Chain A
């Protein structure tokens, strides 16, 4: 099985992850609890740090194993400056939000459709971050062509999980394997999901997908090592393996066989890093932050009149907003 047991226990406990907030909310630097400080200090650019963080996250997660209430060293940020990169502004908002208890935060994402150029970098970086197998995609970018040649326009619609306030995918789960956290993120307990896929049918946005146990390199002469790497979703080291006996699958280790979905890169945001799709957006079209903080960038953006949400008529109350 994977590793990172203590953090995952906190995530999946009956309190619906309330204890999980302990990570990151205590900013005090205690001896022995500050994780890989030197590594992060060496990285001068905060933006760069957030991009390469997944590479060192392996060490971060392992270092936090077995400790209750461990505090995480958040990336150090430069002092506020006029005209600073919005990524730094958002990271500052993020760190501010992490100082509060989980139930007082409300994570939202804002996507400015006018700025999206349809480069699909967010899709790819998400796949790289979460080691998504074939058939699983958390943030596709839907391309829409409007009009007829020669009067043609194109529009791009990135679609992460909308983390609905009233998620239709949650109550259908027969085993309580999915729920909405107090901070607004809808999560899946990979160790509890039985793979019935009822929640996939129930999602009106197609935001849930299933891991069919396949690899991109299936059918090729060599299995690419990259595909064997573990993912770190929900602060846990997930290794995709199949246990066999005489060729018969005894069981497939999660996340194989599970339903998977975008979780706003929970494992990153609780360590003070922005979701990977936000960090890699070349047009700075995706924003992330705490809607409960009126001073945050996202709060200001969603207060604008040109905001829309997908399928509002369903009453799902999505936490992803689009700027038109």
Chain B
């Protein structure tokens, strides 16, 4: 096998052992939460009958957003806006999308009261329900991603002499991939928008019942997915350093633009109902987000770290790790906090005042802070995700499947 120049390896691959140790520690801590879930059901969760959805539903929306967003963003930029440099990241969005979708579905599976009945969504679906619809769409999306990855790897295999995959001629491949990409864009919009519709169609929750929610979720998906892509390209994907910079700059600027637009919509979402302070149920939820006990989620994590710091890093950054860090801050700061501030505050205001005091029980409360167990599961999923992305990228470099983008540099 041809040897690679060390500078073309991403930081994460160069310091792979360190990364693996970190992931192993996170995974070892996080698995306690998984064991608690499997061994004791929902006993260690802090959700209840009045706030039925907690951190795992937030995680589900977040991971699914990353999945659809990473692929949607890269497809749009590559095929619609013709930013050709993004072709250099090849299968990175596909790998990210597959792994994130897997994590999202695991997360929501853990949240079910009857995990063993999950297949009922296929055997007795109610297609009037947004939830059933998007589960079917996830299935179609998953099949699509696998097919797309298989074809993409076969195209890449034409450059890899020892690849076990049969080669696919470029012309034919491009034709098939072109059709699939347009189908993929539609699926991505349906999935990310569908999660928004999952909340937006619930008229019982005034804050969620917002026609713009599907749009918010499409934008959020592209922001969170774009952030993850930036981190993957900066830290894990094997490619030439100049190309890495070019790709990061392109994605970074586009993600920044979408973030600004999303924030504009957020301003409209908050300011319109709150302007005169006249009674509206959603005002209570918004006041909670801005000035409630978890005010720092919005002001510190979402705005300061997620938005301001990451924008500074994107536009003033000179090194790839700075853009990678910006990507992490965007996805874990800006996007994750927004998902959290949509799901939880939407449920936290009582549908009928006085309900909590009418019958007192720890599962009948209108307060919610994720339990340690819930956090541990989330950490576990993050660790699994990073591990799988690392392994997938490692296979691309050292594995026999493909060697990408390094042809000229690796010839010695």
Contact = CB atoms under 8 A, between A and B. Distances in A.
A203 interface: yes
Given A174-B135, A242-B41, A310-B352, A212 B363 contact: yes
Interface in A3-24: none
Interface in A234-277: 242, 247-252, 254, 256-259
Interface in B331-389: 347, 350-355, 357-359, 361-364
Contacts of A200: 49, 52
A201 B135 contact: no
Interface residues of A, number: 55
Contact of A204 (B198, B204, B362, B364): B204
B265 interface: no
Contacts of A177: 120
Interface core residue of A123, A174, A204, A212 (most chain B CB under 10 Å): A174
A134 interface: yes
A66 to B, nearest CB: 25
Contacts of B198: 198
A140 B125 contact: no
A106 B380 CA distance: 51
A298 B233 CA distance: 69
B43 A213 contact: yes
A314 B364 contact: no
B28 interface: no
B120 A194 contact: yes
A141 B358 contact: yes
A210 interface: yes
A140 B115 CA distance: 29
B40 to A, nearest CB: 7
A283 interface: no
Interface core residue of B41, B52, B205, B358 (most chain A CB under 10 Å): B358
Interface in B30-88: 38-43, 45, 48-50, 52-53
B268 interface: no
Interface core residue of B117, B130, B350 (most chain A CB under 10 Å): B117
B104 to A, nearest CB: 14
B52 A197 contact: yes
A196 B43 contact: no
Nearest to A213: B41
A258 B113 contact: yes
A27 interface: no
B40 A249 contact: yes
B112 interface: yes
B41 A142 contact: no
A206 B50 contact: yes
19 contacts: A142-B353, A142-B357, A159-B355, A168-B203, A194-B120, A195-B113, A196-B113, A196-B131, A197-B113, A198-B129, A206-B351, A206-B352, A209-B363, A212-B48, A213-B43, A251-B116, A252-B41, A252-B114, A256-B41
Interface of A: 123, 134-137, 140-144, 157, 159, 168, 171-177, 192-198, 200-206, 208-214, 242, 247-252, 254, 256-259, 310, 314
Interface of B: 38-43, 45, 48-50, 52-53, 111-118, 120-121, 124-126, 128-132, 135, 198, 201-205, 347, 350-355, 357-359, 361-364
8 pairs of A and B residues whose beta carbons are closest in the complex: A195-B113, A135-B363, A257-B113, A140-B358, A209-B49, A204-B204, A174-B132, A197-B52
